[in-house]
């Protein structure tokens, strides 16, 4: 059985996944708002969360087999130094594969796909096998939704009003998009919402 394709973002109550300056500081507060330390696959990153959030994160990460992201986030994070915190292979959707000078991690589990969202999702599903594929990019999530490839939308809803910034979804080709009623999990400084996409 193949896993599902889902998107995940921390989002303010008014719908933004970063503020007008490109910062995500308030939105990621729940990653550091508790006493429980969760180590990640990247030695430079760990989480300090409530027990509820730590359990939620551990359960979600256990089901992920591959991550899809765009070139902008890849460049912003410097490719997480070759090791994404959730410890799974990463598929990067890009127009240009980075050069050896730009990406000095030839053995890292990163695949660069230049022929569009369908090819990227297909590659990620091949890598993930029966586990889930998670999309960590608003642009890629929107493209996957427009292409009918997104099964689940997850939102870590944080108690901030940012007023402006980058929305989770904008300028959808097909609209409105109907979603199933959410499953809801309460955390500390975040409420975790999961919506099945109804095509």
**What's 82's domain CATH number?**
3.40.430.10
Mean pLDDT by 10 residues, the chain (199 residues): 90 96 93 89 84 91 94 89 91 94 92 96 96 95 95 98 95 90 96 96
Helix (H, G, I), strand (E, B) or coil at 18: strand
Q: Which helix (H) or strand (E) holds 132?
A: strand 132-135
Domain that holds residue 135: 5-198
Residues with Cβ within 8 Å of 147's Cβ and at least 6 positions away in sequence, in order, are 117, 118, 121
Query: Which spans in the chain are helix H?
Result: 51-62, 71-76, 117-128, 138-146
- The pLDDT value given to residue 45: 78
User: What is residue 1's predicted lDDT score, i.e. its pLDDT?
Assistant: 63
Residues 133-191: tens digit of each pLDDT: 999 999 999 999 999 999 999 999 999 999 999 999 988 888 899 999 999 999 999 99
Which pLDDT belongs to residue 50?
Answer: 94
* Count of domains for the chain: 1
Radius of gyration in angstroms for the set of CA atoms belonging to the chain, rounded to a whole number? 16
Q: Give the pLDDT score at 77.
A: 87
- Would you state the pLDDT for residue 162? 97
- Angstrom distances, CA of residue 120 to CA of 7, 30, 66, 171: 14, 30, 11, 21
Query: d(Cα 128, Cα 145) in Å, to the nearest integer?
Result: 19
Tokens encoding 16: 């933004």
């Amino acid at each position: 059985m193949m896993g599902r394709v889902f998107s995940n973002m921390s989002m303010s109550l008014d719908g933004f996944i970063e503020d007008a300056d490109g910062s995500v500081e308030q939105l990621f507060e729940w990653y550091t708002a508790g006493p429980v330390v969760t180590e990640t696959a990247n030695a430079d990153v760990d989480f300090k969360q409530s027990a509820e959030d730590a359990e939620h994160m551990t359960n979600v990460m256990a089901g992920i087999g591959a991550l899809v992201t765009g070139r902008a986030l890849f460049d912003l994070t410097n490719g997480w130094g070759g090791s994404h915190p959730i410890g799974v292979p990463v598929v990067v959707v890009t127009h240009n594969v980075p050069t050896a000078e730009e990406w000095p991690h030839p053995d890292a589990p990163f695949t660069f796909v230049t022929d569009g969202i369908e090819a990227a999702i297909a590659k990620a599903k091949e890598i993930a096998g029966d586990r889930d594929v998670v999309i960590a990019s608003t642009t890629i999530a929107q493209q996957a939704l427009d292409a009918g490839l997104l099964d689940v939308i997850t939102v870590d809803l944080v108690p901030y009003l940012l007023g402006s910034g980058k929305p989770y979804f904008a300028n959808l080709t097909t609209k409105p998009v109907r979603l199933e009623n959410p499953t809801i999990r309460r955390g500390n400084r975040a409420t975790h919402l999961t919506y099945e996409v109804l095509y």
